[in-house]
A and B are shown apart, each in its own frame.
Chain A
Amino acid sequence: MEGRSVVTDRMGGARWRLTALLPILLLVGAMSLLVAGGTPLLDLVGKRAPQLDEFDIRRVEFRPGELRIRVGNPQHGKLEIGVVTVDDAIVPFRLDGPKAVPRLRSSTIVVPYDWTEGDPLTVGVTSSSGIETTKEIAAAVETPRASARSFLGYAIIGFLVGLVPVAVGLLWLPSLRRTAPGWLAAFMALTAGLLTFLALDALAEALQLQAALPNAVGGVGLVLLGVASSYLALTFLSQRSADRQSGSDQTVLGGLALATLVAVGIGLHNMGEGLAIGSSLALGELSLGTFLIVGFMVHNVTEGLAIAAPMAKGSRVGFGRLSALAAIAGAPAIAGAWIGGFVTSDFLGVLFFSAAAGAALEVVAEVARYLRRSVPKGVGSSYVLGGFLTGIAVMYATGLLVA
C-alpha cells in the first residue's frame, strides 16, 4: 500500500514537471512560427524603421603621428565603415579589423595624423549609408601604453588616492577605543552617512555613464543589475559571518566582521574612483595636479575612520588585520586606475560604479542594524542623527576639493 502511494507520488511529480514544461514548449513553438514567417507578419503593421547606423566610438588613442579609433557596432544588422573624419576633414585610414563590423563586434581605424598636443579634437566615423557618429576629445595627449613605467605610474596614483588615506584614517582606531559610547555611536553613524554619500555618488556616476552607452548595451537595467548583485552578495557575506560569529546575537554583525564589510563597500567604490581617474588621465580629460591628489586624499581619509569605527569596541585587532582591511578598502583604486588607464571602457565603468553603490547601501543597512541594537536610544539618538549628517556634510565638503 505504502509503496503504491510512493509510485503515485512520483508519477504525479513527473506529470507536474511535464506541465511546467508546457509553457516553455508553447513559447518555443510560437517563436519558431514568428521566425519562419516573421517579416510578412510584421509588415502587417507597417514598414520597419531603418536602422540608426550609428557607431559606438569606444576609444580614441593618440600615438605619435597616429590616431587609433576603436568603433563597435551596437545595432542588429552589420555596420560598414565608409568615411573617417578628424576635425571635419576626410582622412585616409587603414583598418585593424573588419570594414563591415558585425553586431556587437568592433574594429580599429588607424589614421596617420599630425595632431596637436593639448588641443581638442573631434573624430567622426561615417557609415556606408552616410550616417556620421562623432566623438569629441577634450584635449589630445599621447595615450599611455602598457609599459612597466605607466603601469607603475597608475599604481602610484591609485596608491596615493586609495590606499594611503584609508590606512591613515585607520590610525584613528586607538583614539576611538577611548571614546565614550555615545560619541562612538556618532562615529558609527558618521560611517553610515559617509557610505550613503558614496552610494549616491556612485549611483549618479553609473547612471551618467550608462546614458552615454549605446542603447543595445546601456540602460538603467544594467545599473540595477550591478546594484542588486553587489547588495545581495554582501548580504550573503554578512549572513555567513554572522552565522559564524559567536555570541548571543546571531543576526547583528559587529566588530571586525562589520569593519570588513565596510572595507569591502569602500573598496568597490575606490575601484570605481580609480577607474574614473585612470580613464580621465588616459583620455586627456583630467590634469592631475598636486591639488587634485591632495583633494582625493582628504576626501578618502574619512573612509579609514569609517572602517575603524566598528572595531572601537570589543577585542583588540592586530596590525596584520588592520593592514588587510586597508588593502581591501584602498588597493582596488590601483586596479581601477590600471583598468581605466589601459582599457577605458564605459561599460565596465557602469558595472563598477553600480556595484559600488549596491555594496555601500548594504553596508549602510548593516551599520543601521548595529546601531539599532547597540545604542540605547537606537537610530533616533541625537549622537546617531548628528553623526550621520556630519558624515554626509564631510563628504560633501571634501568632495568640493576634487570637483
Chain B
Amino acid sequence: MASAPLARLAWPRGAEGTHLATHAGHDHARLGHAAMIGAQTPAPGGPHDLDALLYPPKPLPRRAGRVREYTLAAVDRDIEVAQGVTFPAWTYNGSVPGPVIRATEDDLLRVNFTNAGSHPHTIHFHGIHPANMDGVFEVIEPGASFIYEFPARPSGMHLYHCHATPLKKHIAKGLYGAFIIDPPKPRPPAQELVMVLNGYDTDGDGENNLYTVNGLAFYYAKYPIKVRRSRTVRIYLANLTEFDLINSFHLHGDFFRYYPTGTTDSFEYTDTVVLTQGQRGILEIDFSNTGRFMFHAHQSEFTELGWMGFFDVVD
C-alpha cells in the first residue's frame, strides 16, 4: 500500500515536498519590515508624544555657582506600551523612561522628589556624590518627599533609577531615566537625541514581552526620527533593560563614533554596540546618505518585539 499518496489526499494538491505553501500568492506588501513602517505600524501614541524624552534640554556652558533644579514625582500610571497592551507602570513624572535630567559639570543639581506612588521609592543617580545622596538608604515612603542635592560630576552620559527593594521589580516597572552631564567646554553643536532602551514584562513571568526605545514599542517605526544629513547626530544612549543580560544598538547604512560613558575623547568607529544594564555612551553619526535607515537591537528577538525604528535623513 502506498501510504504517502494516501496521506496527501487530505492536503491540497502539491503541498508536500514543494514550497507552494510558503510562496503562493500572498500579499508581499503586508509582510516583513515593509509592514512595520509609518501609519500601518502597530505602535501606540501620537506623533509628538515622545518629543520630551527624545530631545534633551539645551546644554548650558559652564557658569560657577549655578543651581540646576528639577522636580520629580513617582506616580503609578497605566501606559499603553504596545498597541492595545497596557502596562501598570511605576513612573517618574508619568512616563517610562522618566524625564531627561541635564546639568553642566559642577552645576549644583537639586532634584525635589515626591513619592506620589503606592510603594516606597528612591532616586539613585550614577555619578560622583555624597553617600547620603545615593538613594539607597534613604527610602522615601508614599506621600513623603526628599531633596537630592550635589554637584554634577563627572561629565558624560549617565542615568538614574529607583533603588528601593525588590530592586528588580522597581526597575522593571519603569523607574529610570537619562542623566546627562555636559563637559565644562560644551561639545560641538549637533542634533541631539536621547535613547533609553528598556523592556516590559507584561505578564510577570520574569521575562520581557516587549522591548522599546524611550518606552513605546515600534514608536520610531511609526514616526521615523527626522534628521539632517549636514549636521552631526548625537545620541545619548543608555540601557535600562531588566531580566536580559544585554541589549544593543545597531545602525543601518552608516557608522558612528561611540564614546563609552561619554567620559573621554576616545571612541570606537563602529555600527553596533552592546550594553549591559546601566551601561551607556554617546554616539555621533555623520550620515553619508539621505533616505530611510533602520536602527534596532542586533538581537533579532528584541527587534521583532518592539525595539526597532527608522531615521529619515534629509538634506
Contact = CB atoms under 8 A, between A and B. Distances in A.
Whether A and B are associated in the same complex: the answer reads yes
A114 B36 CA distance: 15
Interface in A120-144: 126-132, 141-142, 144
A289 B209 CA distance: 40
Contacts of B301: 88-89
A357 interface: no
Interface in A33-87: 62, 64-66, 80-83, 85
Contacts of A152: 9
A143 to B, nearest CB: 8
Given A130-B202, A132-B209, A142 B15 contact: yes
Given A132-B203, A157-B6, A290-B2, 11 more contacts: A65-B26, A82-B83, A83-B210, A112-B26, A126-B202, A130-B85, A131-B202, A150-B10, A152-B9, A157-B10, A292-B3
A82 B11 CA distance: 32
Given A141-B11, A281-B10, A288-B7, A92 B24 contact: no
Contacts of A129: 85-86, 202
17 contacts: A62-B21, A64-B23, A64-B26, A82-B86, A83-B84, A88-B305, A90-B210, A90-B304, A99-B84, A114-B26, A114-B31, A117-B21, A126-B85, A130-B86, A132-B203, A149-B9, A157-B7
A128 B25 contact: no
Nearest to B31: A112
Nearest to A132: B203
Contact of A83 (B23, B35, B82, B300): B82
Nearest to B81: A130
Contacts, number: 145
B230 interface: no
Which of B4, B7, B82 has the largest number of chain A CB atoms within 10 A?
Answer: B7
Contacts of A116: 22
Contacts of B35: 92, 112
Closest 10 CB pairs of A and B: A65-B26, A130-B202, A153-B9, A89-B304, A82-B84, A64-B24, A153-B10, A82-B85, A290-B3, A288-B7
Nearest to B21: A142
B160 interface: no
A90 B82 contact: yes
Contacts of B210: 83, 90
B18 to A, nearest CB: 9
Interface string B85-103: 1110000000000000000
A65 B25 contact: yes
A383 interface: no
A80 B83 CA distance: 12
B265 interface: no
B161 to A, nearest CB: 21
B223 interface: no
A281 B209 contact: no
B28 to A, nearest CB: 9
A99 to B, nearest CB: 8
A113 interface: yes
Contacts of B86: 82, 128-130
A145 interface: yes
A85 B305 contact: yes
Contact of B24 (A65, A126, A141, A147): A65
A64 B6 contact: no
B3 A293 contact: yes
